[in-house]
Amino acid sequence: MSLYAQRVETKLRRNSPDWAAARHRCRAYRRRILDLSQQVTAMHVAPAFSCVEIVDLLYNNLMRRDANGSYRDVFLMSKGHGCMVQYVILQEQGFLSQNDLDLYCKPNGRLGAHPDYETPGIEASTGSLGHGLGMATGQAYAEALKGSEVLIYCVLSDGEFQEGSTWEAMMMAANLRLDNLIAFMDYNDFTGLEQLSEAHPAFYPLVPKAEAFGWEAVAVDGHDQAAMHAAVMGRRGGRPLLLVCRTVKGKGISYMENVAIWHYRSPNKEEYQQGLRELADEAR
């Protein structure tokens, strides 16, 4: 852990890492998302699967809790279409009920395909891309102004880094030297239509771009929680941190991995059964 992190990461409650348990949890989350995918015809399964390890790391490790169990740190899901993984974790932790999940995208339910502010555990309404980092910057600035020790975590899709508004936020967060802001880019290399690296070569390089905008930036495997944890704990401070997390869209289900259509599609019955088998095989 860097000296900076030692100073900031105070005595607030935090689970010590257990990566084997985390792998088990992540498999369970994927399975529950697959189950939910059978309730609606279209949902963002693959974009949720690419950030399961990231979001699990936040809720079950990085975000610190008060003695009463409530989260002190804040997580803002800028890539709102990845919120299925957030929902299943919030349900597991008691912020949402099973009934909430059963009514996902249904009349009388309160959970839609994008997260809505003031739903328990949801820190901002997102869905339209390129909004989250700006709000996270404002949140981080407010906490800095108050002199609090709260950290603001934000998960963005790679596609959101095509939005000019995200770069306005990148610039401003660095200008304000917001070292209480930690962002994760879910770099799965696919937007809704196609593969980023093929269609938009000028999108790269990513780490030097972020560094040029005044951020500390680290490239890391977005399915390797120990690596992401080490990157966060090793941050130097004095500026915001971006983890460029290389991920696989649809991670864990062979037919879904790196196939653009799964940005929107839900598996049919056969595909669902195959998905369950693959997750079970992985567990063995």
Partner 1 sequence: MRNRFADTFYELGKADARLCVVVADISPAGSIARFRAEFPRRFINTGVSEQIMIGMAAGMAQRGLRPFAYTIATFTLYRPFEMVRDDLCYQNLPVTIVGIGGGVTYSTLGATHHAQEDVAIASTIPNMSVLAPCDPAETESATRWCASQQVGPVYLRLGKAGEPDLTSKAQQAWEFGKVRQLRAGGDVAILSYGPIMKRAMAVADRFEATGQRAAVFSIHTLKPLDREGLSRILETYKRGVVIEECAPNGSLAMRLKELAWDLRAGCRLDTFTLKDEFIHCYGSHDDILDAHGLGTAEICSRLKLA
Structure tokens at 185: 């880019």
Distance CA(241)–CA(229), nearest Å, equals 13
Is 176 a binding residue for partner 1 by CB under 8 A? The answer is: yes
Q: Which residues pair with 240 in a beta bridge?
A: none
Among 138, 214, 234, 237, binds partner 1 (CB under 8 A): 138
Backbone angles phi, psi at 112, to 5 degrees: -110, -175
**Residue 80 or 222: which CB sits closer to partner 1?**
80
122 and 116 in contact (C-beta within 8 Å)?
yes
Distance CA(66)–CA(14), nearest Å, equals 9
Secondary structure of residue 131 in the 3-state scheme: coil
Distance CA(214)–CA(181), nearest Å, equals 13
**Residue 141 or 272: which CB sits closer to partner 1?**
141
**Residue 171 or 233: which CB sits closer to partner 1?**
171
**Residue 136 or 155: which CB sits closer to partner 1?**
136
**Residue 140 or 231: which CB sits closer to partner 1?**
140
Is 160 a binding residue for partner 1 by CB under 8 A? The answer is: no
Is 128 a binding residue for partner 1 by CB under 8 A? The answer is: yes
Is 3 a binding residue for partner 1 by CB under 8 A? The answer is: no
User: Over the range 137-173, which residues count as b (16 or more CB within 10 Å of their CB) and which as e?
Assistant: bebbbebbeeeeebbbbbbbbbbbbebeebbebbebb
Among 135, 183, 218, 244, binds partner 1 (CB under 8 A): 135
Per CB under 8 A, contacts with partner 1 among 24-83 are: none
Is 110 a binding residue for partner 1 by CB under 8 A? The answer is: no
Task: Point out which residues bind partner 1 (CB under 8 A).
Answer: 117-118, 123-125, 127-128, 130-131, 133-143, 145-146, 164-165, 168-169, 171-172, 176
